[in-house]
């Protein structure tokens, strides 16, 4: 059976109790912690930055899966790396210098993730083949948790799997217990789940069931 990694997004967490929330995810069997960084420019929402990531780093041992939804992400790569990010993912639509940003992440010794808005085709990443470790397929418009899964994402995930057979495919947005199996079947290795975990009765059960794919 394929190993499925669960990376709960803390966007839906209680920010007034972030330490307890992250420790609860760790105790509930999460594999990574997905940190949604938004700047109000690339997406119409503002969340948190390096100080919050640095404090999350202090309270869990799980890998921090940092999703930068910010313009010109290269400006902040080094600071997020120093804050404790393990995987730094950015949107190719957010910069004219994709290669330079990739190189900056590598220089900091971190894993490189590239992400695409729902309307950007997977083929947009072909020029960077072999240069990155993780492909983050957005299955909602980036900016908010609790949205509905865009069904057309399933074809996009399969296409990503076909064009990039050797890297991790992560799917982010609207994934829950009812659609997770088909997301994994389409080719996902890593599932981001915010509301499906934080709004569940029992986080451990929810994560366990998502892992079953």
Binding site for Zn ion (CB under 5 A): 36, 67, 172
Residue 140 as a binder of ligand DX5 (CB under 6 A): the answer is yes
- CB 155 within 8 Å of CB 118: no
Residue 113 as a binder of ligand DX5 (CB under 6 A): the answer is no
Residue 147 as a binder of ligand DX5 (CB under 6 A): the answer is yes
Is 172 among the residues known to form the active site? yes
Is 205 among the residues known to form the active site? no
Residue 73 as a binder of ligand DX5 (CB under 6 A): the answer is no
Among 151, 124, 121, 155, smallest CA distance to 139 is for: 151
Q: Considering the complex, what minimum distance in angstroms separates the CB of residue 177 from ligand DX5?
A: 12
Residue with smaller CB distance to Zn ion, 36 or 130:
36
d(CA 188, CA 147): 19
For 85, the token pair is: 């990010």
Q: Considering the complex, what minimum distance in angstroms separates the CB of residue 130 from ligand DX5?
A: 25
Residues 31-70 that bind ligand DX5 (CB under 6 A): 34, 36, 67, 69
d(CA 52, CA 83): 9
Q: Which of the listed partners (ligand DX5, Zn ion, none) does 174 bind, with a CB threshold of 5 to 8 Å by partner kind? A: ligand DX5
d(CA 106, CA 92): 16
Residue 11 as a binder of ligand DX5 (CB under 6 A): the answer is yes
Beta bridge partners of 54: none
Q: Considering the complex, what minimum distance in angstroms separates the CB of residue 35 from ligand DX5?
A: 9
> Which stretch, 73-81, 99-107, 120-128, 190-198, contacts ligand DX5 (CB under 6 A)?
190-198
User: Annotated active-site positions, please?
Assistant: 36, 172
Please report, as ranges, the residues that interact with ligand DX5 according to CB under 6 A: 9, 11-12, 34, 36, 67, 69, 140, 142-147, 172-175, 192-196
């Amino acid at each position: 059976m394929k190993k499925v990694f669960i990376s709960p997004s803390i966007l839906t967490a209680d920010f007034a109790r972030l330490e307890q929330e992250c420790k609860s995810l760790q105790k509930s069997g999460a594999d990574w912690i997905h940190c949604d960084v938004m700047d109000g420019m690339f997406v119409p929402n503002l969340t948190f930055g390096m100080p919050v990531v640095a404090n999350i780093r202090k309270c869990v041992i799980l890998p921090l899966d940092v999703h930068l939804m910010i313009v010109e992400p290269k400006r902040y790569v080094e600071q997020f790396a120093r804050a404790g990010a393990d995987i730094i993912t950015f949107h190719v639509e957010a910069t004219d210098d994709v290669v330079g940003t990739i190189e900056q992440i590598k220089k900091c010794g971190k894993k490189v993730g590239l992400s695409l808005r729902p309307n950007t085709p997977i083929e947009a990443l072909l020029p960077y083949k072999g240069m990155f470790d993780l492909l983050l397929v957005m299955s909602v418009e980036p900016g908010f948790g609790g949205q509905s899964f865009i069904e057309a994402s399933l074809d996009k995930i399969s296409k990503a799997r076909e064009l990039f057979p050797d890297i991790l495919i992560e799917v982010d947005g609207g994934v829950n217990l009812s659609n997770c199996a088909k997301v994994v079947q389409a080719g996902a290795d890593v599932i981001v789940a915010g509301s499906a975990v934080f709004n569940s009765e029992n986080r451990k059960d929810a994560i366990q069931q998502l892992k079953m794919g």
